Amino acid sequence: MQENRASFTCIVCPLGCSLVVFEDPGGEDNLLVEGNRCRRGEEYAVEEYRNPCRSLTTTVATVFKDCPRLPVRTRGEILLKDIFRAMQQINSLKVEQHMKPGEVVIQDLVGTGVPVIATGSTRPVLEGCSNVRAGFKY
């Protein structure tokens, strides 16, 4: 029985209902949802049971001394079950070129077709920017 059920906290609205999903013992592919106060919760629970997807945010190593890690994220979502494989690929990488937010770091993350993009910059300030200065004094 255990494997045929799962529980989630619904995050569709602030009420945060505790949902339980069962595989209907009678029906073939039917799922039963309990604990929801509305339809949206039911749809959420079924989606979370069948194909939970998440965006992944993490960091990548770089060769730059003053910026050892570059923050990155997936552009879009991947399956939750692929997350650890995705982390392995991202952690095997070392960024050697300067990057800024939006630039692609990995074209296709573990065969999902989803790219990984930089969310931060390897440079301390915007490129060509002159208004941010260290040690400046009036």
Partner 1 sequence: MQRTDFKVDTVVIGSGPAGMAAAVAAAEEGAGVCVIEREERPGGILKQCIHDGFGLLQFQEKLTGPEYSYRYLQMVENLQIPVLTKTFLLEIQHKENGFRLILQNESGVFSLNPRAVIYAAGCREKTSRQVFLQGTRPAGVITAGTLQYMINIQGYLPAGKCVILGSGDIGLIMARRLTLEGAEVEGVYEIKSEPSGLTRNVAQCLEDYRIPLHLSHTVTEIHGTERLTGVTVARVDENFKPLSGTEKFVPVDTLVLSVGLIPENDIIESLGVELDSRTSGPVVDQYNMTSLEGLFVCGNALHVNDLVDYVSESGETAGRAAAEYAARGLNHGDSNGKRVNLTPGNGIMYVVPQQWKIPMEEETVFYFRSRETVFRAELEVAAGNQVICREKYPVLRPPEMERLVIEPYLIPPGTKEIQFRLRC
* Residue from the set 36, 62, 74, 122 that interacts with ligand SF4 by CB under 6 A: 36
Nearer to ligand SF4, 43 or 96 (CB): 43
Q: What is the DSSP string of 74-89?
A: ESS-EEGGGHHHHHHH
Instruction: Tell me the two tokens of residue 94.
Output: 């070392």
Q: What is the DSSP string of 87-130?
A: HHHHHT-EE-S---TT-EEESSGGGSS--EEESS-SSSS-TT--
Is residue 129 near ligand SF4 by the rule CB under 6 A?
no
* Residue from the set 17, 21, 99, 109 that interacts with ligand SF4 by CB under 6 A: 17
Q: What's the gap between Cα 25 and its chain centre?
A: 33
Nearer to ligand SF4, 15 or 126 (CB): 15
Among the listed ranges 26-34, 108-116, 119-127, the one in contact with partner 1 (CB under 8 A) is: 119-127
The site for ligand SF4 (CB under 6 A) is made up of 10, 12-13, 15-17, 36-38, 40-41
